[in-house]
Amino acid sequence: MKLAAFSGVFIEHSMQEAMQLTKKLGLDGIEIAAREPHLPPNASLARVREAKALARSLGLDIPVLAGYAGGFSDVGDGEAQSGLEEFKKLLEIAGHLDCGMVRVFPGGPNAFLASDYHYAKAAHWLNLCAEEAKKHQVKVLMEIHNDSLVETVDGSLRLLGMIDYDNVGIIHDAGNMYITDTDYGRESVLKLGDRLFHVHIKDELRIDEVGAPGTFTSLTRHGEEKFLHSRLGEGGADHRPLFDALREVGYSGWMTLECHAPFPAYERLEHDLNVVRGMLAAPGGRNGNPFAAHSE
């Protein structure tokens, strides 16, 4: 498995600084957030070429362009068309970056609140995205994310089943799935099968109160819940079963570290990288770390 940093973790840094810090960590690549101050859809060609040249000079791959376009299921057709046009711009950028995967968001509401209409509308526009991406030989990624149609594996497979193209797949994100309170272990990997295109790694923790740095609320099937962005082993998401399952199925793709815990960006990614390396080297034990917190 190859390891990348999510540039969004370094969103307070320039694109150049984000790449340099990623290289300093010793990671294999960087997943670029397609927004300011990194690479938004309207970035000039000169700016895109500059990012590619720097990545090449540092020996970093760019496996994913993490787009924010979409939201198709819960916007009007005019906004959906704008989302498609934004996605097309990201495909052009991906081509210049030699990047083979671009993220798009299908929209909401939460899967447990969605109707057939939401899935049908999302599928219509995602088919158009997939058709465009085929022309560029790019894969389309949907991230399993709370507050969306694809917040569970079942919801993801339902939507995938309505899309006519096989270049659309899923980003597995155990942190998001912990928030949703859905399985993110072995069965989730087996059920996704060959539609598992990419993996995000981060930890979260259910808490009683918000207000402190790193806390937020999210609507789940249990109601409005409170969470804290956490470093690996300090939250409630046990990634050990996920790592074992990825090893079992022979996953050889990319894994992006995406910690948003309230610590300096480099420090929190360095912590998570050490935990991930431990899990990759030594199967067994919660998060591969005997000192990891067990609270949930």
CATH of residue 31: 3.20.20.150
Residue 119, token pair as written in the block: 């899935």
Residue 228 lies in a domain: yes
Strand 215-220 to 203-207 pairing? unpaired
Neighbours of 232 (CB within 10 A): 29
Residue 201 lies in a domain: yes
**Considering the domain boundaries, does residue 295 fall inside one?**
no
In a domain, 202, yes or no: yes
CA separation for the pair 71, 21 (Å, rounded):
31
* Non-local CB neighbours of 138 within 8 Å, separated by 6+ positions: 91, 94, 95, 99, 100, 101, 102, 167
Dist. CA 271–CA 160, nearest whole Å = 35
DSSP state, 9?
Answer: G
- Count of domains observed in the chain: 1
Q: Say whether pLDDT at 107 is over 60.
A: yes
Residue 296 resides in a domain: no
Determine the pLDDT at residue 285.
55
pLDDT digits (tens, 9 = 90+) for 132-150: 999 999 999 999 999 999 9
The yes-or-no verdict on residue 284 having pLDDT over 70 is no
Within a domain: residue 294?
no
Q: How confident is the model at residue 286 (pLDDT cuts 50, 70, 90)?
A: low
- Per-residue pLDDT of 6-48, as tens digits, reads 999 999 999 999 999 999 999 999 999 999 999 999 999 999 9
Q: Give whole-number Cα distances, 96 to 20, 65, 90, 141, in Å.
A: 20, 11, 10, 18
Is the whole model's pTM more than 0.85, yes or no? Answer: yes
Does residue 89 lie in a domain region? Answer: yes
- Residues of the domain holding 99: 2-288
Q: Is the pLDDT of residue 243 over 70?
A: yes
The whole-number pLDDT of residue 215 equals 98
Residue 290: is its pLDDT beyond 80? no
pLDDT digits over 170-187, tens only? 999 999 999 999 999 999
Burial class (CB in 10 A: 0-12, 13-18, 19+), 212: exposed
pLDDT band at 282 (very low <50, low <70, confident <90, very high): confident
In a domain? residue 293? no
Q: What are phi and psi of 18, to 5 degrees?
A: -60, -40
